[in-house]
Amino acid sequence: MRKYLIFILSFLTLPGLAQTLVLSGKVTDDAGKPIPFASVYVRNTTKGTSANSDGGYTLNLTKGQYEVLFKAVGYKQESRSVNLLADAKIDVSLKTEQYQLNEVSIKAGGEDPAYDIIRKAIKKRKTYLNEVNAYTCEVYIKGLQRLLDAPKKFLGFDVQKFALQNGLDSNRRGIIYLSESQSKLSFMKPDKVHEEMISSKVSGRNQAFSFNRAGDIRVNFYENLQNWEGLSNRPVISPIADNALSYYKYKLIGATIENGETINKIQVTPRNLNNPCFSGYIYILEDSWRLQSLSLYITKKANINFVDTLRVDEQYVPVTNKVWMPASMKFEFNGGFMGFKFAGYFVSLYKDYEVNPKLDKSQFKEVLRISKGINKLDSVYWQQQRPIPLTDEERTDYKKKEVLAAKRESKEYLDSIDKENNKVNITRLVLRGYFHRNRFKHEYFTTNSLLSAVQYNTVEGLSLNYGVTFSKLIDSLNNRRFAVYGNVRYGFSNKLFNAYGGLVVPVGQATLNLSGGSTIADLNDREPMSAFVNTIHSLLYRQNYKKLYQKQFASATLSTRIYGGWQASASAEWANRKWLNNTENYSLFHPKGNDFTSNNPFVPDADVPLFDNNQSFKVTLRSTYDFSNQYETYPTGRRYLPSKYPTIGVSFTKAIKNAIGSDADYSLISADVTKSDIPVGYYGKFSFWVGAGKFFDVKNIYYMDARQFSGSQITAYRVGIDKFMLLNYYGYSTSDKYLEAHVEQNFTGLFINKVPLLRKLKLQEIVDVNYLTTPALKNYTELGFGFQTNFGLRVMYGTSFNTGEGNVKNGLRVGLNF
């Protein structure tokens, strides 16, 4: 269908058929300076364009008589009548709009007239938010990002070399991203969106697709809150939100008449500059009290991330007698970070609206479609379809980087880059491991870092634990890979050598993982303490919290997506489990009161085996569903999107007696429901995890088969929605039944942002409640308070109730939340 569409578009542009003529020119102010991104529209239509950053515009029209409107926020609209018989040029100068105040008497201390207008606009907010049940339109987006300054080197990375390789000048300045896209956008209430990208062009990337997304750039100021995830920890409050009067101050600048409509210009400023609020101007139509346009900005004073200032300009046009829709939207930004300075913009144009069309709900399962070949359209196509003309700088960037792109995609270039990057480097081997890449063949080989491979524990003493992985892309259409991996481990004190390996193979739409060998495993299969942290505590503090055993195994796991958000897996594992004693007693220091304990967490003073050597054969079935079937379609295949609803999971495990010599004999059924980062408006995000399970038909079960819990007994802990802060690592596993619950509220800076000295840290306040009940530990509860940075570092203070023996009553916890 796409090929036929492109053929028809090309056919219609042939001479003598529906001939397209070009109206072009430049839009300037009354001082002769260009007005960037001014709007140019045919009256009573949504057919139009925008000027570029130099004020130049082009508008493609067929022969005929037109009245063309030229407008920009803050300027007086101009119109020109055009009888278009051939290509024509019209330059237009726009005068600054004069907004006149009516003779309004304001008593001393009285309220500005703007407040009455705002109250009426707020009252109509829901009407305009819900007046359109569905619509379709075409969207053109141009995005540009420019590097203004950069250091020559950054953390060992050669920025100068990278800049020259990517078309920047010798001062590391220039365009780093330039892209255009055209899309067909469909919308249905309350929040269903379907976007089909029709064309895409990325400067310097012939094989890439534009990051421009019409669905992402949609902003509706009739919504109370603008959730700009990543840019702002807290949602930004609209100037006409229901509670906007509590957050904004308003001033009526004046009114003017345009196209027979009275437009009120109102200045908005935050009552508190540190609240997530805009500054700038909104333009509201008299009598209907709807938005006509806006020009707003928000700065780093409001604790936004990554940028110093973000400006948004939006203009609305009537598409029917009663409905107004966005005609254009522009985001401009600038910022700096650790010596890097940047600026850029995204501008989008909307045309050919169809309001309340008949749409099929099923089409919204696919949120985005990017078909193969839409990035291969030639310059003739773009010259005919591009509504915003290129500037000289942009035109040069496309031409210069087209040569670079052809070079970068050649086998010789890819081989030369891989050869350079694949060189063995001692620093890299120690800190990051070795990474060998053949991008032309899509083959990758990686190893662990030597630093992470060297470990210490009281069971093995000093040990070496080293792994390697090889993977190859075998199905680019569906992004499916074949992988082989292996791991070797040797303990220098207990003289045990362990090794295992495996492979990952696509099987139809499923993935099969086969593995086998021997390893040293944690008695708690949740592995609440990392090997690195255990090494540090063992050597420096003479504390060996981690308890280990030897596991010889063979396993197979088949996983697949059954349909949409419904996924399932089946696994089978045979294992021979052997008890291990401590063999090493060395530590660098011997703090008073600290001493190593045995490998048995329940008998710390004697090496008494926790279990007899045994075998198990178990089968596990797992299924999850997230109540969403939404996905994005790329030339490489589908990518399913996270659901706004919780994910429900159900698992069943059966250990089969006498199967391949198995000693274990039990059944376990469990269920869980979870959802992270649920928006709760101005109060941040809420997350939860709840799980429960029951063992039955238990005839023979071993410690490592029991349900384990992820606790923490030291300051460093693993952050996660299903983790405890103060629970004993091994003391409260159960082979009976359990109910576990975790809730977390992230206030995203609601309170800290009001404290001047702490505001710049951009901390997020965290409150955690964790709960566990088992037959041995009834109604165990933790309450935690703390902070998290934008980089994921979390510091919490927790207290526990009904602690039970071996648990921590109070404690400070520090971890990383990735």
Above pLDDT 70, what percent of the chain?
94
The pLDDT-based confidence of 759 (bands split at 50, 70, 90) is: confident
Q: For residues 717 and 710, what is the distance between their CA atoms, to the nearest angstrom?
A: 10
Question: Lowest-pLDDT range, 425-439, 694-708, 764-778?
Answer: 425-439
Burial of 528 (0-12, 13-18, 19+ CB in 10 A): buried
Q: Are residues 129 and 23 in the same domain?
A: no
Residue 52 in contact with residue 36, Cβ under 8 Å? yes
Residue 3: pLDDT band by 50, 70, 90 thresholds?
A: very low
Q: Which of 358, 392, 408 is the last residue before a domain boundary?
A: 408
The mean per-residue pLDDT over the stretch 622-640 comes to: 89
State mean pLDDT over 514-526: 97
- Domain assignment present for residue 364? The answer is yes
Do the beta carbons of residue 498 and residue 620 sit within 8 Å? no
Phi, psi of 175 (to 5 degrees): -80, 125
Residue 718 has pLDDT above 60, yes or no: yes
The H-assigned helical ranges of 131-223 are 159-165, 214-217
> What per-residue confidence (pLDDT) applies to 252?
95
Is residue 305 pLDDT above 60, yes or no? yes
The last residue of a domain, from among 374, 408, 442: 408
pLDDT in tens, 543-582: 999 999 999 999 999 999 998 899 999 999 999 999 999 9
At residue 17, the pLDDT reads 40
How many domains does the chain divide into?
A: 3
pLDDT in tens, 282-293: 999 999 999 999
- At residue 164, the pLDDT reads 80
Same domain, 238 and 344: yes
Res 4 pLDDT > 70: no
Q: Are residues 729 and 686 in the same domain?
A: yes
Using CA atoms, how far apart are residues 689 and 462, in angstroms rounded to an integer? Answer: 37
- Residues 375-394 have pLDDT tens digits of 888 888 888 889 999 999 99
Residue 754 belongs to what domain range? 676-818
pLDDT digits (tens, 9 = 90+) for 472-490: 988 765 667 899 999 999 9
Residues 66 and 133 grouped into a single domain: no
Whether residue 698 is found in the same domain as residue 804? yes
Q: Which pLDDT value is given to residue 401?
A: 85
Q: CA separation (Å) from 573 to 491, 616, 620, 662?
A: 25, 8, 9, 11
Please, what is the average pLDDT of the chain? 89
User: Do 83 and 209 have their domain in common?
Assistant: no
296, part of any domain: yes
Number of helices followed by number of strands (H, E) in the chain = 11, 43
Q: Is residue 631 part of a domain?
A: no
Question: Do 792 and 706 reside in the same domain of the chain?
Answer: yes
Q: Which of 47, 66, 94 delimits the end of a domain? A: 94
Does residue 73 belong to any structural domain of this protein? yes
Extract the tokens encoding 209: 């697709």
Average pLDDT over residues 776-800: 93
Q: What is the mean pLDDT of residues 718-728?
A: 93
**Structure tokens that stand for 276 in this block:** 């997530």
| Residue range 650-703, pLDDT digits in tens | 999 999 999 899 999 999 999 999 999 999 988 999 999 999 999 999 999 999
Q: Where residue 209 falls among pLDDT bands split at 50, 70, 90?
A: low
**pLDDT of amino acid 404:** 76
Q: Residues 62-91: what's their mean pLDDT?
A: 91
Q: Which residues contact 18 (CB under 8 A, 6 or more apart)?
A: 12, 62
265 and 370 co-located in one domain: yes
Q: Which residue has the tokens 């956008």?
A: 185
Say what percent of the chain tops pLDDT 90. Answer: 63
Instruction: With respect to residue 500, please indicate whether it lies within any of the assigned structural domains.
Output: no
Domain assignment of residue 588, yes or no: no
Both 680 and 800 in one domain: the answer is yes
Give me the DSSP letters along 583-639.
-----S---TT-----S-TT-TTS---SS--EEEEEEEEEEEE-S---EEEETTEEE
Q: In this structure, which amino acid lies at residue 564?
A: G
Q: Token pair 């070009």 is at which residue?
A: 22
pLDDT digits (tens, 9 = 90+) for 83-138: 988 999 999 999 998 888 876 545 556 789 999 999 999 999 999 999 999 999 99
> Same domain for 741 and 783?
yes
The verdict on 73 and 118 lying in the same domain is no
Q: Which residues of 213-251 are buried (b: 16+ CB within 10 A; e: fewer)?
A: bbbebbbebbebebebeeebbbbbbbbbbeebbebbebe
pLDDT reported for residue 80? 93
Lowest mean pLDDT among 589-593, 636-640, 685-689: 636-640
Rounded CA gap, 286 and 255, in Å? 9
Angstrom distance (rounded) from CA 252 to CA 263: 11
CATH number at residue 43: 2.60.40.1120
Instruction: Give mean pLDDT, residues 456-480.
Output: 88
In a domain, 606, yes or no: no
Assess if residue 639 is contained within a domain.
no
Q: Determine phi and psi for 416, rounding to 5 degrees.
A: -70, -40
- pLDDT digits 0-9 by tens, 137-150: 999 999 999 999 88
Q: Are strands 461-475 and 497-507 parallel, antiparallel or unpaired?
A: unpaired
Can you give the pLDDT at residue 290? 96
Do 76 and 173 reside in the same domain of the chain?
no
